[in-house]
Amino acid sequence: MILRAFALVAVIGLGACTPSDGPTSSRIQSDARADNVPILQLQPSVLQALGKPAPNAGLSHFMARPYTPGTIKPGDIVSVRIFQTSEDGVFSVADSNVLDLGDFAVQPGGSVSVPFVGNIRVAGSSVVSAQRVITDRLRETAIDPQATVSISLSASDNYTVQGSVAQGGTYPLTPRGERILDAVAAGGGSAGKPENTIVSLIRGGNTGRQSLDRIIADPGQNVPLQPGDIVVVGGGDATFIADGAVGSAGEFNFVEGQFSLAQAIARAGGLQDSRANARAVYLFRRQPPGESFLLRRANGETDRIFGDVIFRADYKDPTDRLNAREFQLRNGDVLFVGNAPLANFAKFFQIFERPPEVPAPPSLESPF
Q: How far is CA 368 from CA 118, 360, 364, 365, in A?
A: 91, 21, 12, 9
Burial of residue 244 (number of CB atoms within 10 Å: 0-12, 13-18, 19+): buried
More confident residue, 275 or 19: 275
The full DSSP string for 316-358 is TSHHHHHHHHHPBP-TT-EEEEEEPTTHHHHHHHHHHHSPPPP
Q: Kindly give, in sequence order, each residue whose CB lies less than 8 Å from that of residue 305, ignoring residues fewer than 6 positions away.
A: 38, 40, 49, 287, 292, 293, 294, 295
Among 132, 153, 174, give the residue marking a domain's end. Answer: 153
pTM for the structure as a whole: 0.64
Same-domain check for residues 281 and 212: no
Residue 122 falls within a domain, yes or no? yes
Same-domain check for residues 266 and 349: yes
Sheet of 158-163, strands arranged across:
169-172, 158-163, 230-234, 198-203, 206-211
pLDDT > 90? residue 184: yes
- Assign 249 a pLDDT band (cuts: 50, 70, 90): very high
Residue 210 falls within a domain, yes or no? yes
- Assign 37 a pLDDT band (cuts: 50, 70, 90): very high
Residue 241 falls within a domain, yes or no? no
Report the CATH number at residue 329. 3.10.560.10
Q: Encode pLDDT of 293-340 as tens digits.
A: 888 877 778 889 999 999 999 999 999 999 999 999 999 999 999 998
Same-domain check for residues 229 and 273: no
pLDDT > 50? residue 264: yes
pLDDT at position 12 is: 47
Q: Encode pLDDT of 145-179 as tens digits.
A: 889 998 888 878 899 999 989 999 999 888 888 99
More confident residue, 169 or 257: 169
More confident residue, 225 or 3: 225
Same-domain check for residues 169 and 147: no
Q: How many CB atoms lie within 10 A of CB 187?
A: 22
Residue 365 falls within a domain, yes or no? no
- Assign 270 a pLDDT band (cuts: 50, 70, 90): very high
- Assign 14 a pLDDT band (cuts: 50, 70, 90): very low
Among 153, 171, 194, give the residue marking a domain's end. Answer: 153
Residue 139 falls within a domain, yes or no? yes
Among 110, 129, 153, give the residue marking a domain's end. Answer: 153
Residue 244 falls within a domain, yes or no? no
pLDDT at position 21 is: 60
Mean predicted confidence (pLDDT) in 94-109: 83
Residue 248 falls within a domain, yes or no? no
pLDDT > 70? residue 138: yes
Least confidently predicted of 41-45, 93-97, 316-320, 339-343: 93-97
Same-domain check for residues 310 and 290: yes
Q: Encode pLDDT of 199-237 as tens digits.
A: 999 998 899 999 999 999 999 999 999 999 999 998 767
Mean pLDDT, the chain, as a whole number? 84
pLDDT at position 343 is: 57
Q: Encode pLDDT of 55-92 as tens digits.
A: 667 899 888 888 877 789 899 999 999 887 666 555 55
pLDDT at position 250 is: 93
More confident residue, 40 or 343: 40
Mean predicted confidence (pLDDT) in 224-252: 91
What's the domain count of the chain?
3
Same-domain check for residues 228 and 283: no
Report the CATH number at residue 125. 3.30.1950.10
pLDDT > 70? residue 366: no
Least confidently predicted of 48-52, 53-57, 189-193: 53-57
Q: How far is CA 95 from CA 23, 55, 116, in A?
A: 81, 59, 21
pLDDT > 50? residue 260: yes
Distance separating alpha carbons of residues 45 and 35, to the nearest angstrom? 23
pLDDT > 60? residue 94: no
Residue 71 falls within a domain, yes or no? no
More confident residue, 190 or 182: 182
Domain that holds residue 93: 77-153
- Assign 1 a pLDDT band (cuts: 50, 70, 90): very low
